[in-house]
Structure 1
Amino acid sequence: MKKNQLEIACFNYESAIIAQENGADRIELCENMKLGGTTPNSILVVKVRESLNIKMHVIIRPRGGDFVYSDEELTEMKQDIKQYKKLGVDGFVFGILKDSGNINKRQNKELVHLAHPLPCTFHRAFDVVKNVEKSLEDVINCGFKTILTSGQAVNVEEGILALERIQELAKNRIEIMPGGGLRSSNIKLLQEKLDLTFYHSSAITNNSETANPEEVKELKNFL
């Protein structure tokens, strides 16, 4: 039977351990929180993989800033996917746009194909697309299994109505995972509006880059 599940965005090894010990179902591993998350280095990936029993997705994002990538950057992303597949990760998180604000179908399809059979999540690049309805169809067409989004708002609370609409438009063809400012203080509001899904949070409640064990527990309690 399907149920709500929790993914914790982890920017370091400590957060990954905290996530597992306090009930998270999956982690998204990345580095550089101030840049919004970039591809973690291979030493961290190996260390976390060896310590976790829960699922571990890895972000593939070569730099901060926009989501328009050169062919050189695309090559780098491909190399990371090839390498991390061999290290036993469970999925990948990325998203590539065109200058126009539309989905770059060619580049995304190449990465999804390379990642196969591992599932791919289209990350919060979705929050800056020009046309939500068209972009949703393009992301589905590229073969992604999940979209991580705040509903194109500053946080999930402000984007709640858009999240509800995106989930309706998706018609169960792709999982819509709310993330961006998600905390135990507002998760109940989202649950009232959304169908069963994964919820995404860093569970960071102070100025550090490390998840708060109590916050992970609280989030999980609501699910």
Structure 2
Amino acid sequence: MAILVEACVDSVQGALAAEQAGAGRLELCANLVEGGTTPSGGMMRAVLRCVGIPVFAMVRPRGGDFLYDAAEIEVMLRDIEFAKSCDIHGIVSGALNPNGTIDEDGTSALIEAAHPLPFTFHRAFDVTRDLDESLDTLQALGVPRVLTSGGAASALEGAGMLARLVRRGGDRIVVMAGGGVRRDNAEAVVRAARVREVHLRGAHRTDGRMTYRAPRLHVARPFVPDAYAWDVTDGAEIAAVVAEAARGAMP
């Protein structure tokens, strides 16, 4: 069984590194410190020009929860329309109701806007009230893929539930394992959950190249201890996960 590894990236450099490391698909986001939001049009077009593997765009208007009002849904629909005009290969999105169920109307509108592109329901799934119920709802809506940790803090911890969801979904929906997938657990996640796809960030901290650093002012990032550093895609980590995930699929 071949395992597809999807890498979450937020830059052109990250996209290139992930492709070179063997990722089979990219999830392109902005604001990963917020869990990922919609990338800019410039970023989508630049990444699509540089890589030869499928690129799915996150469509999420803000951080926080996944309960959206009509204005936010309208923004998401327009973002999907724009992403399609950039020739994006797929959409990653979703919406919830206040009671922790899938927002069927909102999600249906997002799926319809994305058509005919493939649609992944993101990890909003993990904060729904009942994962079995939510999986059934997504199948009824025609969602082909869901990204999930099995409702746990990590895919490894949720491997039992992931395996259950894989069995429940059968061939009707792809259950993609994500959440804390690393080189030291990818084999175990695949082996225990029997998933065909895994998702990871795969990043390390890098220091900026500024030689002058304002000693008292961190513009727009007062909560970050070092505003001159950020996370970048770690190609070596992704390559290791590709290898370990393949090992987990072996008999």
Structure 2 residue 128 is the aligned partner of structure 1 residue 129: yes
* Residue of structure 2 equivalent to 1:70: 69
Contact 1:150 1:179 in 2 (8 A): yes
* Residue of structure 2 equivalent to 1:61: 60
Map 1:94-173 onto structure 2 (within 5 A).
94-173=93-172
CA deviations on 1:162-220 (whole Å, 9 max, x unpaired) are 11111111122100000010011101111212335111001114474211111111111
* Residue of structure 2 equivalent to 1:176: 175
CA deviations on 1:37-58 (whole Å, 9 max, x unpaired) are 0000111111101111100000
TM-score, normalization by structure 2:
0.86
Question: C-alpha displacement at 1:21, in angstroms?
Answer: 1.3
Question: C-alpha displacement at 1:113, in angstroms?
Answer: 1.0
Give the residue type in structure 1 aligned to 2:232: T
Structure 2 residue 243 is the aligned partner of structure 1 residue 221: yes
Question: Quick check: which has more Rg, 1 or 2?
Answer: 2
In 2: Cα distance, 1:81 partner to 1:59 partner: 9
* Residue of structure 1 equivalent to 2:232: 210
In 2: Cα distance, 1:217 partner to 1:4 partner: 13
In 2: Cα distance, 1:192 partner to 1:205 partner: 26
Give the residue type in structure 1 aligned to 2:97: K
Contact 1:11 1:209 in 2 (8 A): no
Contact 1:9 1:29 in 2 (8 A): yes
- SS of alignment partner, residue 209 of structure 1: strand
Give the residue type in structure 1 aligned to 2:135: L
Question: C-alpha displacement at 1:22, in angstroms?
Answer: 1.3
In 1: Cα distance, 2:199 partner to 2:178 partner: 5
- SS of alignment partner, residue 55 of structure 2: strand
Q: Which stretch shifts more, 212-221 or 95-104?
A: 212-221
Give the residue type in structure 2 aligned to 1:218: A
Unaligned runs of 5+ in 1: none
Unaligned runs of 5+ in 2: 207-229, 247-251
Contact 1:3 1:196 in 2 (8 A): no
Question: C-alpha displacement at 1:131, in angstroms?
Answer: 1.3
* Residue of structure 2 equivalent to 1:34: 33
In 2: Cα distance, 1:121 partner to 1:97 partner: 14
In 1: Cα distance, 2:192 partner to 2:179 partner: 16
The list of structure 1 runs, each at least 4 consecutive aligned residues, that deviate by more than 6 angstroms after superposition, is none
Question: C-alpha displacement at 1:23, in angstroms?
Answer: 1.0
Map 1:4-43 onto structure 2 (within 5 A).
4-43=3-42
Contact 1:33 1:209 in 2 (8 A): no
* Alignment RMSD: 1.2
Give the residue type in structure 1 aligned to 2:25: R
CA deviations on 1:120-172 (whole Å, 9 max, x unpaired) are 00000001000111111111112211100011111111111111111111122
TM-score, normalization by structure 1:
0.96
Give the residue type in structure 1 aligned to 2:20: E
- SS of alignment partner, residue 210 of structure 1: strand
* Residue of structure 2 equivalent to 1:197: 196
* Residue of structure 2 equivalent to 1:186: 185
